[in-house]
Structure 1
Amino acid sequence: MPRMNGRELSFKKKLSSTDLTRNLEIPRSRARHLPAGNQTMRVLDQNGRLWHFKCPRRRGGRRCLTDQWRDFARTVTPRKGDILRFYFSAEEVFGLDPLALSF
């Protein structure tokens, strides 16, 4: 997996309309270092704000971000087609790159 400033890419996601209005579905085969069970995933955004997302398992083993995810989507205002990259660090805090433009 690619590394950036000592962090390892956990997953990246091209946002859909559903991701922006409900919960962010995490790509099943690509996600690494996600918290077990119903633990909180701490994510530091590009502006230094810390967000707390839950990452529960759904039917069929799917995972998604809940709790503060909708607040994040309203505050940061990502758009459909934007790509978010989540990086994991040794401090067990995920870093989030600035929003990328769609392909």
Structure 2
Amino acid sequence: MRFGRIALVTGEPISWEGTKMNLYLMESASSGGTSRSPVFLYRGSLQPNAYALFKLAGVMTGQSATVRPAVSVPDGGAIPASVSNAGIAGIVPCHRLYEILFGPELEALRTKNQ
């Protein structure tokens, strides 16, 4: 289980791994292997006997990485790179999941296989 904070919610596509995508950005220490994991929102309640909010936010699509030269190479050869987690994760919003699962392409596939 990981914890994070919503960093950006926008209606505009975000450039992510070379593609414009509709995403939420989350500040989190995500790690390799967490792509396609569900992401939940939790908001506790400060009121006694009140319910907390627990909802599906979407699905993790990956982390933003920062690539830096690890060392300088005097002879001009290949430069080894160090890849580090930038602390930002991309989340495909749950409403997009609904659009994909119940869109015309998958609906036609389900109808064909009945």
- TM-score bracket for this pair, using the shorter chain length: 0.3 to 0.5
TM-score when scaled to structure 2? 0.31
Higher strand share: 2
Q: Select the structure of larger CA radius of gyration.
A: 2
Which structure has more relative contact order (CA 8 Å, sep 6+)? It is: 1
